Amino acid sequence: MRKRVVVTGLGTINPIGLNTESFWESLVSAKSGVDFITRFDTGKFDTKFAAEVKNFDPSLYLDKKAIRRLDLFSQYAIASSDQAVKDAGISSGTIDPDRTGIVYGSGIGGVETMQEQHFTYFETKDPSRISPFFITMMIADIAAGHISIRYGFKGPNYSTTSACATSSHAIADAFMIIQRGGADVMLCGGSEACVTQMAIGGFNAMRALSVDNENYKTASKPFDLNRNGFVMGEGSGTIILEDLEHALARGAKIYAEIKGIGLTADAYHMTQPHPDGDGAVRSMRLSVRDAGIKENEVDYINAHGTSTPFNDVTETKAIKSVFGDYAYKLNVSSIKSMTGHLLGAAGAIEAIATILAVKNDIIPPTINYVTPDPQCDLNYTPNKAVKKTVRNAISNTFGFGGHNASLLFSKFVN
């Protein structure tokens, strides 16, 4: 018998919310977090806009010394983890630290630290100027380590890295650890802070980002005919997963149940999805089968929906392959239209949006949807949130390298 796993805590720092409540309010009110980049001079860059986190105050979570020694992605991770732990009502008396673990990912890690230290060395040609904290600020696993030390969680502890699917894999791993009895409680999610010169320049070089600087506010337009690339976002999302019996025993509030996961590979191309959406088809089918439900019991799909020409067509094909005619009765939406693409943190904040859709029976919209694409002909919940009973919902994330993850969340019924 596999253990049932439920969601008991949520936390997030992202371009449209500095906590779960403000994030959800922004989603439902169709708020965009996209604006011109403020972190650096974009004069020579093809893309001059992104979805930055605004008004984040790390001193609410960290002292001055810690702030200096942590890359921004780790600061985001700790902040959203603090929120989630408090939201779940976890304290030393409510959990066994030996049976509480962490799987926390980042697609890139401390890219800002890497960039700054790289500049320092090449400006001075003096290796002694490299910070002694360079490595521990940069490596992608360090957020999981910091969270473990902060709370004394001594169970499984590691990081996942699978590009845009990173934090969905973290959630899936945490789910499986609890299912097999390896832990009672798992903190999971992901963090990214890539609004930097090297990241924006690198994604520009591969022609992945939108360059619609004149219409930057509406540049992230998943499934729209005129989409022309994704918009960089940043932030973190943290989810507390818990063995159902453990959660009930301590009187925890329960947002939803995670019932199924589907993890696959395209085995096709470094950056392009399989043209028929093969990996996405299999990951969604696996998540439905793992949950023990039927396709027509799924009410909502939180799409990967990157606003790129390839992804949106292939994901649409994949949904139709899995759900057949029922695909047209589903609500689909991409919150990247509001948050931008958080890379390794995308799966976590999109899972939070999916969980809240299940909990609140509201579908967040795909904003900036103006011109239908004949190849993308599903109900993408255009521009306005929709009230609808959501029994089961899937959150999709697909990453460079052909990594696919589908997470299925359901209304909790004891």
The rounded distance, in Å, linking the Cα atoms of 354 and 76 is 21
Q: Is the dihedral of CA 314, 317, 321, 326 positive or negative?
A: positive
- Among 66, 81, 89, 63, smallest CA distance to 19 is for 81
Pairing state of beta strands 300-302 and 331-333? parallel
Catalytic pick among 246, 341, 376, 403 = 341
Burial class from Cβ neighbours inside 10 Å (0-12, 13-18, 19+) for residue 302 reads buried
The rounded distance, in Å, linking the Cα atoms of 411 and 414 is 10
Contact 71, 137 (CB under 8 A): yes
Number of C-beta neighbours around residue 207 at 10 A? 12
Catalytic pick among 146, 169, 304, 403 = 304
Alpha carbon dihedral 248, 249, 251, 255, in 10-degree steps, equals -30
Q: Tens place of pLDDT for every residue, the chain, 414 residues? A: 799 999 999 999 999 999 999 999 999 999 999 999 999 999 999 999 999 999 999 999 999 999 999 999 999 999 999 999 999 999 888 999 999 999 999 999 999 999 999 999 999 999 999 999 999 999 999 999 999 999 999 999 999 999 999 999 999 999 999 999 999 999 999 999 999 999 999 999 999 999 999 999 999 999 999 999 999 999 999 999 999 999 999 999 999 999 999 999 998 988 888 888 899 999 999 999 999 999 999 999 999 999 999 999 999 999 999 999 999 999 999 999 999 999 999 999 999 999 999 999 999 999 999 999 999 999 999 999 999 999 999 999 999 999 999 999 999 998
Catalytic pick among 164, 188, 194, 376 = 164
- Among 108, 399, 405, smallest CA distance to 272 is for 399
Kindly state the helix (H) or strand (E) to which residue 101 belongs, with its residue range. strand 100-105
pTM for the model? 0.97
| Whether residue 341 lies in the annotated active site | yes
The rounded distance, in Å, linking the Cα atoms of 63 and 348 is 26
DSSP string of 152-202? Answer: T--S-EE---BTBTHHHHHHHHHHHHHHTTS-SEEEEEEEE---SHHHHHH
- What is the identity of the amino acid at 89? G
> Residue 114 to residues 58, 122, 199, 207: CA-CA distances in angstroms?
20, 12, 11, 23
Contact 169, 159 (CB under 8 A): no
The rounded distance, in Å, linking the Cα atoms of 93 and 86 is 13
pLDDT number for residue 275:
85
Kindly state the helix (H) or strand (E) to which residue 333 belongs, with its residue range. strand 331-333
The CA radius of gyration of the chain, in Å to the nearest whole number, is: 20
DSSP 242: E
The rounded distance, in Å, linking the Cα atoms of 374 and 371 is 10
The 3-state DSSP class for residue 62 equals: coil
pLDDT number for residue 349:
98
